[in-house]
């Protein structure tokens, strides 16, 4: 029998789709997964708190952040978001992530003595790929291929967010059957990109994967002029609808 939880309405909102380099149109990484009463932020790069203020998502509802990995462009706005909530009377804040999350949080939340002022919970995921849950959202994971330990995550079997990674079979297999895959495509073909994805390498691994929609993200500024090329190349290998995501891209899953 189908799980009613799996079929529950879900919304994905991409707040930041850029990289560590400044862009006039793309902020650093952040995405919101909403399901029922749960509002989960995945990564919290620079500017994400202000993107929340530009959206219809109340930043005061975002009390939990799940990290794909701990590079600065995925964690820089953690203290900004936590302090904004604190100043508005919300002191509870939770950060969940891979190995290294505790050390990063120790450094970030030392600013303004936030660690002493917040009701802060930091949860490092155990090594491996055991599933877990945040609120009512069921989450599966697969290791990524990047310069920091990290995970791609699949939420209620419907949405997969890959984080920063070279294309890998475990991440693509995790996404198999998803309605939406958010996968980085940081550089065009012909670029040396250890730990990142180019379109042909990504497309080849997605060729036998069943996905309805693929959103390409984490574009470096020099990649922006090649956006159409990224889409056309990945589309050669998959029947999924492929597009380059922009900040504020939102997808409703009924």
User: Which pLDDT does position 2 carry in this prediction?
Assistant: 39
Say if residue 3's pLDDT is above 80: no
C-alpha to C-alpha distances, 146 to 69, 143, 152, 164, 247, nearest whole angstrom: 9, 9, 11, 6, 23
d(CA 140, CA 152): 8
167-225 pLDDT, tens digit each: 999 999 999 999 999 999 999 999 998 999 999 999 999 999 999 999 999 999 999 99
User: Which pLDDT does position 8 carry in this prediction?
Assistant: 80
C-alpha atoms less than 13 angstroms from C-alpha of 247 in its C-beta half-sphere: 23
Q: Which of 160, 135, 133 shows the shortest CA–CA distance to 62?
A: 135
Say if residue 107's pLDDT is above 90: yes
> Is this structure's pTM higher than 0.85?
yes
127-182 pLDDT, tens digit each: 999 999 999 999 999 999 999 999 999 999 999 999 999 999 999 999 999 999 99
Say if residue 82's pLDDT is above 70: yes
C-alpha atoms less than 13 angstroms from C-alpha of 131 in its C-beta half-sphere: 11
Regarding beta strands 159-161 and 151-155, do their DSSP bridges make them parallel or antiparallel, or are they unpaired? antiparallel
The first and second tokens of residue 188, run together, are: 């065009």
82: helix, strand or coil: helix
Q: Mean pLDDT in the chain?
A: 96
Regarding beta strands 92-97 and 119-124, do their DSSP bridges make them parallel or antiparallel, or are they unpaired? parallel
Q: Is-contact 184 164, C-beta < 8 A?
A: yes
Say if residue 7's pLDDT is above 80: no
Sheet holding 10-16, edge to edge: 119-124, 92-97, 64-66, 38-42, 30-35, 10-16, 250-253
Q: Name, in order, each residue with C-beta under 8 angstroms of 191's C-beta and a sequence gap of 6 or more.
A: 198
C-alpha atoms less than 13 angstroms from C-alpha of 95 in its C-beta half-sphere: 31
d(CA 9, CA 105): 32
């Amino acid at each position: 029998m189908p799980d009613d939880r799996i079929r529950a309405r879900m919304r994905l909102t991409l707040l930041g789709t850029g990289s560590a380099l400044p862009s006039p149109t793309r902020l650093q990484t952040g995405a919101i997964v909403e399901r029922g009463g749960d509002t989960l932020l995945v990564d919290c790069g620079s500017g994400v708190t202000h993107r929340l203020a530009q959206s219809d998502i109340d930043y005061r509802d975002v009390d939990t952040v799940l990290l794909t990995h701990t590079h600065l462009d995925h964690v820089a706005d953690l203290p900004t978001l936590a302090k904004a909530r604190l100043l508005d009377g919300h002191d509870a804040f939770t950060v969940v992530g891979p190995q290294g999350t505790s050390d990063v949080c120790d450094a970030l939340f030392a600013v303004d003595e936030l660690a002493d002022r917040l009701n802060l919970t930091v949860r490092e995921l155990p090594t491996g790929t055991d599933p877990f849950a945040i609120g009512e959202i069921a989450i599966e994971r697969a290791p990524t291929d990047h310069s920091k330990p990290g995970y791609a995550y699949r939420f209620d079997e419907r949405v997969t967010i890959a984080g920063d990674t070279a294309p890998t079979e475990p991440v693509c297999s995790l996404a198999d059957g998803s309605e939406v895959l958010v996968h980085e495509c940081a550089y065009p073909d012909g670029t040396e990109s250890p730990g990142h994805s180019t379109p042909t390498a990504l497309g080849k691994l997605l060729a036998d994967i069943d996905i309805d929609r693929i959103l390409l993200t984490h574009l470096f500024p020099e990649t922006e002029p090649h956006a159409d090329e990224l889409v056309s190349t990945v589309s050669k290998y998959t029947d999924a609808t492929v597009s380059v995501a922009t900040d504020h891209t939102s997808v409703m899953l009924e």
